[in-house]
Structure formats: C-alpha cells, structure tokens
Amino acid sequence: MNLQPDIDRAATQLRGKTPQEVLTWALGNYEKISLASSFGAEDVTLIDMIAKIKPDAHVFTLDTGRLNAETYDVIAKVQQKYPQLNLRIMFPQAEAVEPMVSAKGINLFYDSVENRKQCCYIRKVEPLGRATKGLDAWITGLRRDQTANRSTMEAVELDSDRNIAKINPLIDWTNEDVWQYIHQNEVPYNALHDQNFPSIGCAPCTRAVEAGEDLRAGRWWWEMSNQECGLHVSSDGTLVRAKG
C-alpha cells in the first residue's frame, strides 16, 4: 500500500504544530505506534509528553548489554514515574552475541569498522527490526538542527524501509527547548548529560565531548570518518545511530 500521499498530507497539516499536538494526532491516528527511546534528553522529553496524553502508550528501548549504569538508572526512574507506560526492553539474541564475542573478543568494535558494524547489527539493528515489526508508526526524538541531513525532515515522514510512518514531534525544537522542558517538568534524565555527554549510546563507544566539539563527536571517536548512517532512516537506529 502506498502511504506516501496520506503522509504528505499529514506533514503539511502538522507543519508548525507543537510536539504535543503532533503526538496527540499520531497517538489518535495510529493503533500500533511506539516511541523508540534510548533515554537521551529528547526521548525522556517525549516520554513525559506522551504519558500526559496517553499514559499506557507503548515505548521500546534496546538494551544492548553494553549500556552505562546511568542509563539503567534513568530507565528505572522512568518506570517509577510513569508506571502505566508499556515499556518493552529489547535484548539482542544470545545465540548471535555469544559466537561473536567468543571469536572476536568482548571489545571487538575497537579493532575494525567491520567489527563495530557487526556488533551494532547484532546488538541494535536486529532487535530494532523485531521492535518495529507490525507497527503502523514509530516515534523518534530527532531534531532538525542535529545534522545537515535532517534539515528537510518533517514531523511526519514515510519510513520507506519499513513502509510505516515515522513521527518526529521535536523536529522544530532546539537543544535549549528540550532542556527547558526537562527542567520545567522535572523529567528524569540521564546523569551523564551533566558530565558533557550530549549523546549517549553504549558505554565503550561513547565519551564526553570537549567545549566546542560537535555534539556527536563522542560517539565512535576512534574512527576517523564520522558519518552518520542513521538507524532511524535505514535499518540502523537512534535511538540507535550508526556510522557508515
């Protein structure tokens, strides 16, 4: 089924609307819809907004097995604060992880781009595929000003890989808007954000950034080319983001 015409119409209607208006429309329009959350600043913002609109909404996250303790702490705080939320925690398949780390070592990702991509595929891309299977739409925390290749994004788009709608309620927001919302609404957030971690992924693949560095410079810093391939748009994620 060609969803593009309906999605284009919705994108036009929702241009300039607030994140809450976009979420209200999306949660009313799609039956099988879930927020993809890595519990970064944008994601906890969306969780708070969603919980105020539909307290039992669906959220999924990918537990790669290599997350920081601070990320588990914020997941636990969110579970306490929003007990009605349907949070699905996706794990990688043990039968894929075990042979990978036995053959290549527990920290294989530092040895080559190929190894890093294999680890990301097994720990993130494959579980993301299971998490989005059967959905009509998924919600992301993408913002237009994060990278140049997001400059033309709309609040509603077609995820052509999955042929489902992708909802980006924060597309018009800045980093400052997100933090103002978090503080005003006392939303639980990952403590690593206070230690110069603007973007938080797996513990061994994320570091703090220096003043003036790109917000995403702390991810896979040991690899020289720093191109995003974006789990959100292809079969990769951002929750869950990868580089090509």
| Residues annotated catalytic, as ranges | 229
Is 205 among the residues that bind ligand SF4 (CB under 6 A)?
A: yes
Structure tokens at 56: 């039992």
Rounded to a whole number of angstroms, the minimum distance from the CB of residue 68 to ligand SF4 is 11
HSE of 123 in the Cβ direction (CA atoms, 13 Å)? 28
Could you say which of 14, 131, 170, 202 contacts ligand SF4 (CB under 6 A)? 202
| Nearest-angstrom CA–CA distance, 198 and 49 | 21
Tell me the residue nearest to ligand SF4 as measured from the CB: 202
Site for ligand SF4 in 71-90 (CB under 6 A): none
Is 216 among the residues that bind ligand SF4 (CB under 6 A)?
A: no
Residue 74 vs 153, nearer CB to ligand SF4: 74
Could you say which of 78, 119, 156, 178 contacts ligand SF4 (CB under 6 A)? 119
The answer to whether the CB of 139 falls within 8 A of the CB of 110 is no
Rounded to a whole number of angstroms, the minimum distance from the CB of residue 219 to ligand SF4 is 8
The answer to whether the CB of 111 falls within 8 A of the CB of 104 is yes
Residue window 132-161: x/- pattern of binding to ligand SF4, with contact defined by CB under 6 A:
------------------------------
| Distances in whole angstroms, Cα of residue 127 to Cα of each of 30, 89, 98, 223 | 22, 10, 15, 24
The secondary structure element, H or E, covering residue 33 is: strand 33-36
Is 233 among the residues that bind ligand SF4 (CB under 6 A)?
A: no
| Nearest-angstrom CA–CA distance, 149 and 137 | 21
The answer to whether the CB of 63 falls within 8 A of the CB of 202 is no
Residue 11 vs 128, nearer CB to ligand SF4: 128
Q: Which stretch binds ligand SF4 (CB under 6 A): 27-35, 48-56, 114-122, 148-156?
A: 114-122
The answer to whether the CB of 124 falls within 8 A of the CB of 130 is no
Site residues for ligand SF4 per CB under 6 A: 64, 66, 109, 116, 119-120, 123-124, 201-202, 204-205
